[in-house]
Structures are given as structure tokens and as C-alpha cells.
Structure 1
Amino acid sequence: MTDIKLPDYLPSWMSDHINTYLDDGEAGHLWDASLGGGEGMITTLLLTTKGRKSGNTLILPLIYRPTDDGGFCVIASKGGAPAHPAWFLNLQANQDIQLKVANDEFKAVAKVAEGEEREKLWSLMEAYFAPYASYKAATDREIPVVVFYPA
């Protein structure tokens, strides 16, 4: 994954985080949540997808929590924007994805949580990263809760 060129439009803190993560998964695994309105150091993973329009390889850090069944839960919040984030739309178009969690790299599949499972995982994630509550309040869309599983 280290041959990926990051897009110019990413904020510098995100590019720096991705580059740190690619160079040293242990160092990049934890992210300073104060940069995103949270508190403390929190766990992140790197998601690699293919752009549904561009076909380019795209990489993005996402906050995650492990699930009881061996998955990795993330929130497709886009900061409470009215539209889903591009990475989520890319997943809907193409499930050929890869994750890097600390120094472990593997192919994965994604599942959108629904019903009680979604509510339980949303609560888990909101307790971990409090800004998700304000993201939820800022939008009329139901923010997807996604669980990645090793393929």
C-alpha cells in the first residue's frame, strides 16, 4: 500500500496521519482526537478502496472499534454532511477493499449494520468519539454504521 499517491485535496493533518500510518502502523494506529473535536488518543484503521468514478486507489483513515464478532466498526458520518462520504459510496459500488489495522494488512468485506445491531454499534462509537452525536444532529440522513470483516 505504500505506493499510493495521496490526493492534493486532503487536509494536511489527514495526509500526515496517513503517511505516518503507512510508514509505521503502530505509530499511525492511534490518532489525536482533539484534531477532530474529540478527546485523547483513539484507534484508527486505513481503508483502501477504488474510486467508483475515477477508478483510482483511494486511502482514508477511519476511527474504529472492534466488534464482538471479530469485525471493525466505523461510522460513515462525513461530519454530519447531508450526503454520504465518497468512501461509503465507493463501497456500495465495489467491495474490493483492503484494511490496515496497526501493522496488519488484509482484504475485507463490508456490511452495513441495521436495526438493533446498528443502534448498539452507534452507541459504542458515540461513547468512543463524542462528536458523532453532533454529526447525527446535523443531518437528516441516517448515518451508516459499517462493519468490516477480514475476507
Structure 2
Amino acid sequence: MSDADSAAIREKRGDWVTEHRELYLNSGGTRGHIMDITPVGGFDFATHCLIKYKGRKSGKNYITPLCCGYYAGEVVICASKGGADTHPAWYLNIADSDEVEFQVATEAFRGTWREPEGAEREKIWNYMVDCFPFYANYQASTDRVIPLVLMKGVEAIPVFKMEDADAWRD
């Protein structure tokens, strides 16, 4: 899928993403971590996390909501960008860092991250497609391999707040 086509899809859901992020942040995580994503081809009880990262070029702090799964004690996110031919900015930014900050429901962590490879990656990818069927369509629409990111909390930190972000990126 071209980046322009992917951008058009993301533009259509932009208000939903903004509302979702605000709901998650303003509730301290009591709301927004489980959302109905049937309008975009998902299930009605889809799990979500927030990731907080620093822009590698801008130096600004961003918070982005993402669908997530759980595998062997790690939180899994997909760098799909709606099937675009380029990686999402959040992925490029955390790839420049040794650690990641993330929040699941009412718990936030500073932690490590990694990308699975080989058979482990295939197993986790299949699991994520079972949880979020639209990922199969996203992968089919691009030549790039959609990265999987596994995050593991190392240190509990305060939950994210709206004022923790200097700017917003979806």
C-alpha cells in the first residue's frame, strides 16, 4: 500500500485515535485500554497500550496508543502503519533508544524492548493476526516486513498524563 493510501486511512480514523488517547490519558488508564475496534476490522474487546518516546529529530515527547497483545510476559505491538510502505515514526524513534516507556491500563513502566526473529517471530505474528485480523491485510499490502516489538517492564513509573507529551503523533 502506498504511503498516501495509508495516510488517507489514518486520516479517516484520526478523530477516533485522538479521542481514544485522551480517554486513556484522562482516566489514568481505567478507560481506553480495552476498546471496540469492530469498525476497523477488529474485535469488540481489543487491548491497547500507550507508548511514550522522544522524537529522534525533534526531541519532543510523544504518546501513541497502539493495539497490543501479550506473549510470555511481554507486551507485543506491531509497527504496521496501516500497511504503509514505510515504518511508523514511533518505531523509528524507539529503535534509536535502548529503552521504552509504556502503559497498560493503570500500570506504566520503563522497560526494555526487542524484536523477535525466526520461528519465534512467526509464532507471535500469527498470534497477533488472530487477535487483530487486519494485520494480515496490512502485511499483504506492503513489501516491507512489519516489525514486531516486545516490551518488558523493568521499573514501575507514574501513569502517563496529557502534559507528558509535547506533541501528538498517531
- TM-score relative to the length of structure 2: 0.79
- In the TM superposition, residue 15 of structure 1 has moved relative to its aligned partner by 1.1
Q: What corresponds to 2:61 in structure 1?
A: 57
Aligned-residue identity in percent: 39
The 5-angstrom pairing of residues 96-111 of structure 1 reads: 96-111=99-114
- In the TM superposition, residue 34 of structure 1 has moved relative to its aligned partner by 2.0
Distance change (3 Å), C-alpha of 1:60 and 1:35 = farther
- In the TM superposition, residue 37 of structure 1 has moved relative to its aligned partner by 2.3
TM-align CA RMSD: 1.5
**1:40 aligned to 44, 47, 59, which one?**
44
Q: Distance between the aligned counterparts of 1:132 and 1:85, measured in 2?
A: 14
SS at match of 2:31: helix
- How many corresponding residue pairs? 142
Q: Which has the higher contact order (CA 8 A, sep 6+)?
A: 2
8 A contact 2:99–2:113 mirrored in 1: no
SS at match of 1:28: coil
The 5-angstrom pairing of residues 1-151 of structure 1 reads: 11-24=14-27, 25-68=29-72, 70-151=73-154
Q: Distance between the aligned counterparts of 1:75 and 1:123, measured in 2?
A: 12
Distance change (3 Å), C-alpha of 1:113 and 1:124 = same
Q: Distance between the aligned counterparts of 2:19 and 2:82, measured in 1?
A: 20
Q: Distance between the aligned counterparts of 2:21 and 2:99, measured in 1?
A: 20
1:23-81 CA-partner distances (Å, limit 9, x unpaired):
2212111122124322312000000000111111011111111111x110111111110
8 A contact 2:100–2:151 mirrored in 1: no
- In the TM superposition, residue 82 of structure 1 has moved relative to its aligned partner by 0.3
8 A contact 1:49–1:96 mirrored in 2: no
Q: Distance between the aligned counterparts of 1:71 and 1:121, measured in 2?
A: 11
SS at match of 1:122: helix
Q: Distance between the aligned counterparts of 1:117 and 1:37, measured in 2?
A: 25
- In the TM superposition, residue 96 of structure 1 has moved relative to its aligned partner by 4.1
